[in-house]
Amino acid sequence: MNIKFSILGILIVSVLFVSSCYYDKEDLLYGGANSAPCTDTTGVISYTQKIVPMLQQYCYSCHTGSFPSGNQVMGTYATDKAMAQNGKLYGTINHAAGYSPMPKGMAKMSNCQIATIKKWVDSGMLNN
């Protein structure tokens, strides 16, 4: 291999390296390439405006009605708060050891969505 090809090779590798760093940062800042910028964790997290729409999209289809999956009832403030209090809400969406990963059979929720739910839990699970 002559010197020109080696330089070209190094250039290509550097460009790939730099662009992969760029994606890493984007992942950290925005919680994954497929999600909007994570501005949701600023301020007080509203149960009705932020948490319910997410649980509706990812959980309620299986965990409401007369025969909720795994006998885990969701869909009202009382049931969602109970699941948050016993640690199962955060444990399952964060795919923590000892919990069944949720939403079942689907991609993990984005870092931003998980962080938003965690903040709601940590700040007292307000019914707001």
Footprint of ligand HEC (CB under 6 A): 58-59, 61-63, 69-70, 72, 83, 88-89, 92-93, 99-100, 102-105
The distance of closest approach from Cβ of residue 42 to ligand HEC in the complex, given in angstroms and rounded to an integer, is: 22
Distance CA 51, CA 116 (A): 8
Closer residue to ligand HEC in complex, CB, 33/106: 106
The distance of closest approach from Cβ of residue 67 to ligand HEC in the complex, given in angstroms and rounded to an integer, is: 10
The distance of closest approach from Cβ of residue 47 to ligand HEC in the complex, given in angstroms and rounded to an integer, is: 14
Closer residue to ligand HEC in complex, CB, 19/127: 127
- Close Cβ partners of 94 (under 8 Å, ≥ 6 residues apart): 114, 118
Distance CA 70, CA 88 (A): 12
Q: How many residues would you count in the chain?
A: 128
Distance CA 69, CA 99 (A): 15
